[in-house]
A = this chain, B = another copy of it.
Amino acid sequence: MSNSRSQDRNVAPRITIRIDLRNGQIGPGKVRLLELVEQTGSIRQAAAAMKMSYRRAWLLLQSLEACFGVPIVEATTGGKQGGGARLSKLGQGVVTAYRTAERGANRTGLKALKSLPRARNRK
């Protein structure tokens, strides 16, 4: 417990964001999943990396596609595994928009947070 606290100390404060669309949400989990699909070229491997079932990953991707009415992941053919997945232009754009907004929040917010009054380094 005290060990995880001291690890947290290095990363906090941190700002994460959630994007509310008309008919769905984009949060850190879905964006991480998209990034892992792009990195691994496989929905199955991306799901495994996030310790979630293939079905859950697939449903998350489906829910994103439903928001936009445009495919977010495309099938690739060939390769060692005989085909896989990669992000569509929309999928890449969602990741970029999310990470851009997240950087914007951190850039403007962390400075304000650091200036807050706070009890001196409690152990």
Which residues of A are interface residues toward B (Cβ below 8 A)?
5, 8-9, 12-23, 68-70, 89-90, 93-94, 96-98, 100-110, 112-113, 115-119, 122
Cα distance, A22 to B119, chains bound together (Å): 13
> Contacts A13-B19, A15-B19, A16-B17 given: A117-B100 contact, CB under 8 Å?
no
Q: Per a CB cutoff under 8 Å, which of B15, B93, B97, B118 touches A17?
A: B15
Which residues of the other chain, B, contact A21 by a CB distance below 8 angstroms? Answer: 12-13
Find out whether the CB atom of A19 lies under 8 angstroms from the CB atom of B113: yes
> Contacts A69-B118, A112-B93 given: A105-B17 contact, CB under 8 Å?
yes
Q: Per a CB cutoff under 8 Å, which of B70, B89, B102, B108 touches A100?
A: B108
